[in-house]
Amino acid sequence: MTDVTGPVRVRFAPSPTGFLHIGGGRTAGFNWLFSRHFGGQFILRIEDTDEKRYVAGAADDLMTSLRWVGITWDEGPDVGGPHESYVQSERHAAGVYRPFVEQLLASGHAYKSFVTEEELTQMRADAEARGIRAFRFRGPERDWTPAQVAEAEAAGKPYTVRLKVPLEGSTSFSDLVRGGEGISVNHADLYDIVLLKSSGMPVYHLAHLVDDHLMGITHVLRSDEWVPSTPYHVLLYRAFGWQPPIFAHLPPILRHDGRGKLSKRKDDVSANRFWERGYLADAMFNYLALQGWSYDDHTEIMTRDEIVERFTIDRVQPSPARWNPEKLLDMNGIYIRRLPTAAVAQAITPFLARAGLIADPPDAAEQAYVERLTPLIHERLKELGEAPELLEFFFHDVAPAGSPAIFTYDPALLVPKKMDATVTRSALKAILDALSPLESWSEGHLEETLRALAEQLNLKPGPLFGIIRIAVTGRSVAPPLFETLTALGKQRALTRLQDAAAAAEQL
């Protein structure tokens, strides 16, 4: 196992540029697990210095989505902590970053660049014309005298502040996910990155690093897309004379077909979509934990406490994970089936209310009816959001097409395969004759009566029960028949059978 000594402090620092991507949820989850396994702290920090991509309300969605999946933070924007504020724009307004920019300028590790965007574009074009495939910017101001800098400033020229990357040598760093092996990058392959925009706003490279240092972050667990940027961060740590945190770059999550990473444009990957559809937080947390990490080669279903106990970085694989929505769906179904039926009834109630099947909030009678119906679909649910479609015929009238009922069906569906309309009409009449006199409308009595009727009519139970199922639900696939008849009640069931018999006369 990779040696990790506590106490550890980790952070999840998303940019509020949209809804929380499920990959971001995985990164947050790994950080949370790491902190809980080693008894440390998990910090949430909002990195909103990219004004152009900022989306109003995105930070609230991020926090709501994280809390839904059961990820809470010890310090953050809404809970406070010893390092407030935990929002970078607020830290910028408070002047947190400027002294560090001045320190880098004074030490010669950074410089003011007066190159405009137009000039930078022309530089790229010139490099391409010379056959240079990878343009690596090195500002002419790197070697300016203080007098030249002062003259440009006096002329009112806007400037950015860039890191002065050494021209020779290399920078190395270690990565826990890659077994601690050193990753080395030649300085000739780097360029002078922007640290401070002309607007005075720090960019990610500087702001996150200053915040990580000031907040005492010991380990940085982040997406592997940041591997190419890490040499710059190491150079900055050295420039400040600070000890870098320990890095662990997490594997990417590929699409189900393996063709590229999960994409907001192509895939359903916004975290809020999953709780809107009725995924359980524990199921989602369990599945996210398996995106790049595993306990062994066969254990998949684990409680949150078990995952915390078992989570170690040495079991995180550097190779890409692959998102499998069907596997997630199946896992969610397993978690739903493990819930007590009463808990499922409570969980599906908001979905039924949203669909207009019951009031919001439901009255006592409606809630009791939901609890009565839940056992009929408990074993079939894979998403809680499926409940309205599975149960809607219990709340609205069902009748053959042409009637004013909300839900209608094609009367031709009443005729089973290998059976004609004449036999169907006779069967429906016999069904009504057998069920109408019943005084006990229980599952057992209904089953006994209808099986006896099938034998009497010399019909197989399947086709006969299929006729009844279409008549009372309007669909060929529905919850168990006898439980459905019982839940509908005698009068509603008989009314639907009578409507079906009338429609069958026209076939």
- The set of catalytic residues is 264
In the three-class reduction of DSSP (H, G, I as helix; E, B as strand; rest coil), residue 80 is classed as: strand
Shortest CA distance to 31 belongs to which of 247, 331, 300?
A: 247
Q: Report the b/e string of 339-375 with b at 16+ CB within 10 A.
A: beeeebbebbbbbbbeeebbeeebeeebbebbeebbe
Q: In whole angstroms, what is the distance from residue 222 CA to residue 160 CA?
A: 27
CA atoms of 503 and 403, how far apart (whole Å) = 10
Q: Fill in the amino acid letter for 160.
A: T
Structure tokens at 345: 């009834």
Cα(21)–Cα(28) distance, integer angstroms:
11
CA distance 424 to 416: 8
Q: Residue 160, Cα to own-chain centre: how many angstroms?
A: 36
Which amino acid type is present at position 401? A
Which of 271, 222, 262 has its CA nearest to residue 27?
Answer: 222
Relative to beta strand 219-223, strand 246-250 is parallel
Return the SS3 of 398: strand
* 103, 234, 293, 296 from 248: Cα distances, Å: 28, 14, 13, 20
List Cα–Cα distances, 207 to 50, 202, 248, in angstroms. 11, 6, 19
| Cα gap 10→28, rounded to integer Å | 10
